[in-house]
Structure 1
Amino acid sequence: MILYRPVSTKELELIKKSNYRSFPPRLPEQPIFYPVLNEQYATEIASGWNVKYNDDHKGYVTKFEVDDSYCGQFEVHQVGGAHHKELWVPAEKLKEFNEHIVGEIQIISEFSE
């Protein structure tokens, strides 16, 4: 399954430290890791929310692949329009989720003010 994740500069630095192989653990107040199912939605978040609310006013879109059979255990949630779909991964499963990433996490877009 091809997934996308809008990230901040801080999160991107942690991804780089993993050699583009994993996403960092969630913070205690973040019980869900939610990659999105399409580039359009990820771009909306990175170019709007991340640019507006992050300290450095930058946002990035990452693209990555996860084993299809593994992803089947997680619920897809539509949280707005037809293209606003997210895969909801409980934070405690993120380490296992990272182990099912195929290849590297790619940076496909960058946005700034």
Structure 2
Amino acid sequence: MFTREFVSILKCAGVESIRLPARSPNLNAFAERFVRTIKAECLDHLILVGERSLRRAVEEFCSHYHDERNHQGLENKLIEASFVPGGAGELNCRERLGGLLRYYHREAA
């Protein structure tokens, strides 16, 4: 059982918790994988000093996860690509959370 505050943070990130039958730990593998990913790639590397810093870290990670991170299950493509691939423009780097999360991209020519 999660605390009310933790559930509200997950809802802000677009993750909804659902009740599962007893002794069924592997029924929600997608949610388990997301929680494992956010812990390993983000939260384990930060010192959080309160709820506000946790919320900001989760929001930044979710933006990175949906807009900038390649996913193996999608043949290393982005979930929500906001650009046209290809081109020979200048290589740029977008950083989040003080450089913890980085995304390299080329501007359109």
TM range (shorter): under 0.3
Compute the TM-score of the two structures, normalised by the length of structure 1: 0.21
Larger Rg computed on CA atoms? 2
Q: Which has the higher contact order (CA 8 A, sep 6+)?
A: 1
Length-normalised TM-score, structure 2: 0.22
More helix per residue: 1 or 2? 2
Give the strand-richer structure, 1 or 2. Answer: 1
